[in-house]
Amino acid sequence: MSIKVTMKDIAREAGVSIATVSHVINGTKHISENKRKLITNVIEKYNYVPDTRAKSLRNAVTKTAGLVVSVFPDSYVTGIVNGIGKRARELDYHLLFINTNEDYDYEKESIKLLSSNIVDGIILTPSEMNLGYIQKYMKKGLPIIQAIRYDPNIPRLPRVTADDFQAGYDATKHLLQHGHRKIGVIISRTNITPTIERIEGYKAALTEYNIPFDEGLIESGFATEKNALIATKKLLNREKEITALFVLSDLMTIGAMQAITELSLKCPDDIALIGFGDFAGAAITNPPITNVSLSAETIGRTAFDVLLNKINNPGYDKHIQIPTSLMIRKSCGC
């Protein structure tokens, strides 16, 4: 395809050996000022760049990390990917980014590709709690960590997540303190750890107030605003005594708010609302939305550091939880 200039060509034109060129490029040996200048000039002239494949084939390091993300791209994930990218750059790594779009088979394919020695390690947001297939890669010694979500059944696989239990607990408690007793919950996917743990937090708060957990107050839809709109309408039509809503995902918060409006209800007077994640504009909706704030960039940066730990120390297997905070605005009735 491209017209290729190799180290051999540079060496020939400069009248030196291939090894000398390599040493000049990498500074691995002292080369006289004369030759060095001569060689760098030729390199400049041809705008020569060493072949990364050959390089990493030879020295077994790629300086590239794989990033496989499974999530519908809401601003939370964007923020995390950004944090990972920034940290990677700081440490002179490159990222091979793949978005699996919640497709389990594509996820498996992607891990297979990345396992073919083109990356030093992988950060994975699993699409399912079904990571059995990953064990064979772990056995091969491929450094992998989980971010955002994880499969609790796989031991020794590090995790970086938000403190989802605490987040669910805090938000629910806030609504309880406002006097709400029937709190509806809108979730995206049921079978992923953030959802599960946030609901655990929700239950824990209810328990403190001696309120029994009611399965019927939970309604789900997949990720999008539209699905949240549908789910919220369904829930509010079914459970008339609900006075507050807790929405577990960014984009869905918007859909829930739309549903409230379309049902001619007022937020927070008829229905209070707490959302999750910091989507741009939470502050200028009508009313401004109170939400659980997740430090996306911090999660991303931490994930990258954890991957590096895993690479350098194969035994590393911690679960790091990043704290969340409640951004109080108007939709909760404060």
Partner DNA sequence: TAGGAATTGTTAAACGTTTTACCAAAAATA
Partner DNA sequence: TATTTTTGGTAAAACGTTTAACAATTCCTA
Least separation, in Å, of the C-beta of 268 and a copy of itself? 14
Shortest CB 49 distance to DNA, Å: 7
Helix (H) / strand (E) containing 319: strand 319-322
47 or 264, CB closer to DNA?
Answer: 47
The C-alpha torsion from 189 through 191 and 195 to 200, rounded to 10°, is 140
Would you say 35 or 55 has its CB closer to a copy of itself?
A: 55
Which of these segments, 42-50, 146-154, 188-196, 207-215, binds a copy of itself (CB under 8 A)? 42-50
Residue 116-135 contact track with DNA, rule CB under 7 A, x = bound: -x------------------
Q: Does 261 bind a copy of itself (CB under 8 A)?
A: yes
Query: Which candidate, 173, 154, 208, 107, places its Cα nearest to that of 319?
Result: 154
- The structure tokens listed for 229 are 């709109």
Query: What count of other Cβ atoms lies within 10 Å of the Cβ of residue 17?
Result: 13
Could you say which DSSP state residue 289 is in?
A: P
Is residue 123 within 8 Å of residue 311, measured between CB atoms? no
28 binds DNA per the rule CB under 7 A: yes
Q: Which is nearer to DNA, 51 or 214 (CB)?
A: 51
Rule CB under 8 A: say whether 280 interacts with a copy of itself.
Answer: yes
Site mask, a copy of itself, residues 49-68, x = CB under 8 A?
A: xxxxxx-xx--xx-------
d(CA 201, CA 166): 6
**Considering beta carbons, is residue 94 or 203 the nearer one to a copy of itself?**
94
Nearer to DNA, 17 or 191 (CB): 17
Phi (first) and psi of residue 169, to 5 degrees: -65, -50
- Provide the residue type at 331 as one letter: S
Under the criterion CB under 8 A, does residue 74 sit at the interface with a copy of itself? yes
| Closer to a copy of itself by Cβ: residue 138 or 176 | 138
Query: Which is closer to DNA, CB of 18 or CB of 326?
Result: 18
Residues 112-151 that bind a copy of itself (CB under 8 A): 112-113, 115-118, 120, 136-137, 139-143
Residues from 163 through 182 that contact a copy of itself (CB under 8 A):
none
Report residue 281 as tokens.
Answer: 């504009």
Judged by CB under 7 A, how many residues of this single chain contact DNA?
A: 29
Q: Is 17 helix (H, G, I), strand (E, B) or coil?
A: coil
C-beta of residue 97 within 8 angstroms of C-beta of residue 41: no
Q: For residues 43 and 26, is the Cβ–Cβ distance under 8 A? A: no
How many chain residues interact with a copy of itself (CB under 8 A)? 61
Burial of 78 (0-12, 13-18, 19+ CB in 10 A): middle
**Shortest reach from residue 37's CB to DNA, in Å:** 11
Which of 37, 57, 313, 318 is close enough to bind DNA by CB under 7 A? 57
Q: Can you tell me whether residue 97 is helix, strand or coil? A: strand
326 binds DNA (CB under 7 A): no
Contacts of 154 (CB under 8 A, 6+ apart): 131, 132, 134, 135
Cα-to-chain-centroid distance, residue 278: 14
Neighbour count for residue 135 (Cβ, 10 Å): 13
Binding site for DNA (CB under 7 A): 4, 6-8, 16-20, 22-23, 25-26, 28-32, 34-35, 48, 50-51, 54-55, 57-59, 117
Binding site for a copy of itself (CB under 8 A): 1-5, 47, 49-54, 56-57, 60-61, 73-75, 78, 82, 85-86, 89, 94-99, 101, 106, 112-113, 115-118, 120, 136-137, 139-143, 225, 250-251, 254, 257-258, 261, 279-281, 283-286, 311
